[in-house]
Chain A
């Protein structure tokens, strides 16, 4: 790693940044200094102000007060385009891709190579292909962005940044959707970029990432900096305490469930995309009182499995809820038959960002009492219903009438999970329940899921977090290239064997 020389001004220097949203002080006089060639982690719970701070640095938001300096020069961005021109690039949590365009088009968009004034497709494809190979990403240059699962879409976002050769790279939870191996590969890339003199700002919730790749860490809580320290010799307990204001037990072990009757039965489920079987002859069973975890690298059919079970994606094979064959039924009928679903994409699928929180939470409850009485929705019942979920699941929101998008990512997730748990459906299918959620909330969500299981419900848990799958599941299935390639009971599941299966290596 390059040693920043004392006379060299810091690559990024934020001083006294203040940003207020209505009554909420999202950033309260935040100072952040990052040397050139440093990988600096930014930690904090949901709503602590990390995303706001990074949005200010990236020109998405304008601070109410404070200054931004890049390499000693004061700058002021009124748009991300200005920030990019000044060498600041950001991968956000939500994706900004053109779904109908190819990976190449998405990456070069806005900075296209040209030849005699015309787009030079060959050069563009070559440049992108080279980047993909150099960084060992699982992407094909010609694939349509909209066809890619979330994990691959995020890789495209990272690729965009690499293509633009930004001097300061901001990554907002880049590893949330990656497997440990992929995350390690990303870290190699980040270290390489840092060694090259670039500056990396890594927004993350994961303690081990901070120590694995970060050289320094800044912790935010309630909009204020509560800790800035080098990561060498860092005490993880102190870090967690700085984030949450309390010590967090990270190694909680949940007792096994007591499986009962079959609640969800999937037989020979197959989804074709063109000639490819993205979901290939998958059979599985989840019993009442049991959590079955699905591990796997993002993009190996988990998304399609969940969509096919939920009825969002046409599939061959059978799906049974309890005794009932729901294969021919649509989404509404499957939900009515006792299926709740937390999708991985909370911005577009799981919620409506522009709509009120209360309306988001009313979905699925709007055709029965107490929200509905004598054919009419009761506004006060809609509000009470939302208040109950907000209170029970500790959703931090300006109010239930606030638009969903005013909540931080983690609080949106809590709201969606709360809504689906409140359905009290016998079967819950949950995808990436804690993606982008802070450590304190992760424990809360895990506790809720286990309690839901112990109340006699069946849970199918799909997660890219191996520790999450291992910690919660009574059985673990591993998916690879659309198939279930391995199954482990709780006591025989270990990270190494699962990791191998995720990579396609299974014992004969």
Chain B
């Protein structure tokens, strides 16, 4: 209850500060907020919001998995892009329904192996996970950029993008919502994470490790093995998200298309704010997706510059972070 109230207060305070900022630039804050809400949840905006929420929620969950054990995977972007490009490469070769399955598996495998490699860099070579995941992200993104400029380039286009996947290797669309069956894959991943986290020995051991590394060692938890496994799961889900995105419209890998929307970083933010709890991470991801989607609408509807919508989001995020920090701090004092 107190959590809800504090969160609501944080949102309200952010809205007030945002209103002042908007008014200072000459915009009407009420109109601006209305366009954010309508843009996020209105009949025109909702499909966009949901389409955007799927990869954000997927990435948030992917990054929450190791975060539960106190491990931060900063290489989500690389794993996401590697998953996407692998899915396209396989999807272009294998026809039919088998192609969809093979492409998704290729995405999962690529992301999982790459993240596990970053984990091994820590467990075997002593490179801190923060460093190994983040730095390995860049070559992965660059490799994909190279592939769609040269070997995998669409000959019929001047853009850095792959050929379009054949129609039978598209994920089924859900009516005319702009969503694909990928929604269910991501939802399934969230459910699996929630169940594993709460009800399995493996999830329990991840939480124990998050509570305290020395306690985990005392309890007999093999930290290196846990690190590699959690990173493999994390990267695998990131790779799946990449595959799901490219197997939907426009059915190809476009360089930068997975980076520009900030799926990874908004996802990481959601996971951090929710302390990696499965449901909290999902809710935070949906909230941020709505906010971002509404921000685009604000840009379209008013004269408010793009930078200001980013400022508004930042204000809200800071207030929310402060509120969650406050909640944890209060519990800590008891």
Contacts and interface: CB of A to CB of B under 8 A. Distances in A.
The judgment on whether A and B are partners is yes
Interface of A: 21-22, 61, 310-312, 330-335, 341, 343, 345, 348-355, 359, 362-364, 366-367, 372, 375-377, 379, 403, 405-406
Given A366-B204, A377-B200, A332 B222 contact: yes
Contact of B222 (A330, A350, A366, A376): A330
Of all A-B residue pairs in the complex, the 7 with the closest CB atoms, nearest first, are: A332-B220, A352-B211, A331-B220, A376-B199, A355-B211, A363-B219, A349-B218
A349 B331 CA distance: 21
A331 B200 CA distance: 20
Contacts of B208: 352, 355, 359, 363
Given A348-B212, A363-B208, A375 B220 contact: no
Interface in B189-208: 195, 198-201, 204-205, 207-208
A377 B220 contact: no
B4 interface: no
B334 interface: yes
B93 interface: no
A21 B200 CA distance: 33
B184 interface: no
7 contacts: A345-B214, A349-B214, A352-B208, A363-B208, A363-B219, A367-B201, A379-B198
B215 A349 contact: yes
A72 B202 CA distance: 58
A415 B198 CA distance: 23
A88 B318 CA distance: 36
Given A352-B212, A363-B208, 16 more contacts: A22-B334, A331-B219, A334-B220, A348-B212, A349-B214, A349-B215, A350-B215, A350-B218, A355-B208, A359-B207, A364-B219, A364-B220, A366-B204, A366-B205, A372-B201, A377-B201
Given A332-B222, A335-B220, A364-B219, A21 B334 contact: yes
B222 A351 contact: no
A354 B218 contact: no
Contacts of A376: 195, 199-200
Interface in B83-116: none
A403 to B, nearest CB: 7
B311 to A, nearest CB: 34
A12 to B, nearest CB: 24
B262 interface: no
B221 A332 contact: yes
Contacts of B220: 311, 330-335, 364
Interface string B205-240: 101100110110111111000000000000000000
A376 B222 CA distance: 20
Contacts of A335: 220
Contacts of A362: 204
Given A352-B212, A354-B211, A406-B334, A343 B218 contact: yes
Scoring A333, A350, A352, A406 by chain B CB atoms within 10 A of each residue's CB, the highest score goes to A352
Nearest to A348: B214
Contacts of A22: 334
Contacts of A353: 212
Contacts of B215: 348-352, 363
B334 A331 contact: no
Contacts of B205: 366
A14 B214 CA distance: 39
Contacts of A377: 198-201, 204
A367 B212 CA distance: 19
A312 B201 contact: no
A367 B201 CA distance: 6
A346 B114 CA distance: 38
A363 B199 CA distance: 14
Nearest to B219: A363
Contacts of A333: 220
B218 to A, nearest CB: 5
A350 B219 CA distance: 8
Given A348-B212, A349-B215, A350-B218, A403 B201 contact: no
A323 to B, nearest CB: 21
Contact of B217 (A312, A359, A406): A312
Contacts of B201: 366-367, 372, 377
Nearest to B195: A376
A321 B302 CA distance: 75
Interface in B28-85: none
Interface in B135-174: none
Nearest to A62: B333
Contacts of B331: 403
A377 B199 CA distance: 5
Contacts of B199: 376-377, 379
B1 to A, nearest CB: 15
Contacts of A61: 333
Contacts of A355: 207-208, 211
Contacts of B207: 355, 359
B282 to A, nearest CB: 21
Contacts of A379: 198-199
A363 B209 CA distance: 11
Contacts of B212: 348, 352-353
A364 B211 CA distance: 15
B204 A331 contact: no
A22 B334 CA distance: 9
A341 B218 contact: yes
Contacts of B211: 352, 354-355
Contacts of B332: 354
Interface string B314-334: 000000000000000001111
A345 B198 CA distance: 27
Contacts of A359: 204, 207-208
A330 B332 CA distance: 33
A61 B332 CA distance: 12
A66 B84 CA distance: 64
Nearest to A60: B333
A142 B195 CA distance: 49
B329 to A, nearest CB: 12
B267 to A, nearest CB: 25
Nearest to B333: A61
A331 B214 contact: no
A364 B87 CA distance: 41
Contacts of A343: 218
A385 to B, nearest CB: 13
A52 to B, nearest CB: 12
A222 B293 CA distance: 56
A398 B207 CA distance: 22
A353 B211 CA distance: 8
Contacts of A332: 220-222
Nearest to B218: A349
Given A352-B208, A359-B207, A363-B208, A312 B218 contact: yes
Contacts of B200: 375-377
